[in-house]
A and B are shown apart, each in its own frame.
Chain A
């Protein structure tokens, strides 16, 4: 009883309850058929949201106005870079991953440079850089038909007893991110800056260095995500990252991180990602049309935000 009460006091538990509820609704509809497969599929898709979600979480935690809108373009470019560098051969997998990471980090650094040097609000800075990155991707990745190396494609699809290996990596990564956030100087600095940037600066925190690291981290995670997505979906594409603009922000907010900054939550990101993916799965099993699916997704996101509510506005 005490355990349950302690659990319910945690903000992130609600996203897991939501995910469970949606899953139950879906398997009730199918009469229990495909219950396990649904979880496997949800885990393999949710992990991509978690990776970019964690990057976005650190950025949003920096305080009002901080958000990375360049993730979709970044993911698209990194997926093309990874596939081109790997060139379909197993021996180049690691080089390709490093290239994707570097491409993502470059985008993140460019974002920070725009914010710092031109004093542009982060929203518009990441927006304008995303325009440019998107164009680079279109020009660079045009007609790119390279398949991922077989070993890499297999790696992104391997499962242990129905649990994708990527999801296990994702959980480990989330655990590390949680420690970095709550127990390491970097994470505590991000939280402090989000609560009051000036106070953090007066307390001797290297504010600009931490912001630089955070935007670079978000970019790097976008890059890795692009490479993994290209492996999972067996090929790069310009639009591969499109859905991660909404989902990266949504998992952060639904997961219990404050949009006003200074208060973050890592476990909630996993819950929220599972919730969103299972929600789509449920709507698919109900056999609704694309229009109804989009409509319901939108309404549920607005509904969840409204129910969670009570936070300070983003900007």
Chain B
């Protein structure tokens, strides 16, 4: 795609729609680069193996939660419960998965099953996913509080070991982000069933006429959301070492923001896994390391996320306007 875009660029110059499209595809990477340059300028020592391991510490669970949210957004739904779900998974991981691995695994698999069932329910009864998942966010939080009324528990040893890996040359969070992005990119963007899954968001009727079951695609996407939610919760506990029922609450909005930052659209099945991971990294970096280096008090961290979101969307609106000028 990049090669084709570059060729088009060669033909028609910088004011062409093709250039706008290229710019639009590169926007997530561009925002991340800008943030990195700002950090490098403010604190050159942060740009090192150790600095990245530290700054991107929490990026893995955020990236996983963002990918989870991306799956539901692909089929034109929205999951407002992913944050509390991540918290619930964290509690299960820090208690049952450690003390009684078999029970823990069954519970986590069961929760993925609940997600799949929600997908079926939302599709069959034609329910607004926003309301259903808002309701579910209470369910997950309630379960998490029942399981772990006070912060505590402990992550299983193997998980702690995995999350504190120190691979040579490339810091673990960056390696993990690349693996996540490539695996999901291949599955969703490069396989034929991936195209069907995205098609459900683009034109469900056409996909159905072509003989595919919409019920099945929706259930698949919700199950994938559950799966990546589970991975996110486990990764989170692997980093924080103990759990708390409110651990993941901020992730719901962060994940939506990450998907949109990464070039995803709310409707039409237009998403980008690589973009989503880049968006998550941007948010993870912008949230605290950048602000710390700029000596901005933590009060304004949330605002920084909102501002970045607005700036990137404004840039995208400008580019899209040019894209439609043909």
Contacts and interface: CB of A to CB of B under 8 A. Distances in A.
Interface string A123-136: 11001111110111
A142 interface: yes
Interface residues of A, number: 49
Interface stretch (A33-41, A93-101, A167-175, A245-253): A245-253
Contacts of B139: 294-295, 298-299, 302
Interface string A281-315: 00000000111111111110110011001111111
Given A135-B301, A306-B125, A294 B310 contact: no
Interface stretch (B10-18, B127-135, B162-170): B127-135
A134 B304 CA distance: 11
Interface string A104-138: 00000000001000111101100111111011101
A135 B302 contact: yes
A139 interface: yes
Contacts of A315: 76-78, 130, 266-267
Contact of B303 (A65, A118, A136, A311): A136
B300 interface: yes
A259 interface: yes
Nearest to A302: B135
Given A309-B127, A315-B267, A135 B303 contact: yes
Contacts of A311: 126-128
> Is chain B's interface secondary structure helix, strand, loop, or mixed overall?
helix
Contacts, number: 164
Nearest to A306: B125
A291 B142 contact: yes
B325 interface: no
B74 interface: no
Contacts of B304: 135
Contacts of A135: 299-304, 306
A295 B146 contact: yes
A177 interface: no
A288 to B, nearest CB: 10
B317 interface: yes
A294 B7 CA distance: 57
B277 interface: no
Contacts of A121: 266
Closest 4 A/B residue pairs (Cβ): A131-B306, A298-B138, A295-B142, A135-B303
17 contacts: A135-B306, A139-B299, A245-B134, A246-B134, A289-B145, A290-B142, A293-B142, A298-B141, A299-B139, A302-B136, A302-B139, A305-B135, A309-B127, A311-B127, A314-B128, A315-B78, A315-B266
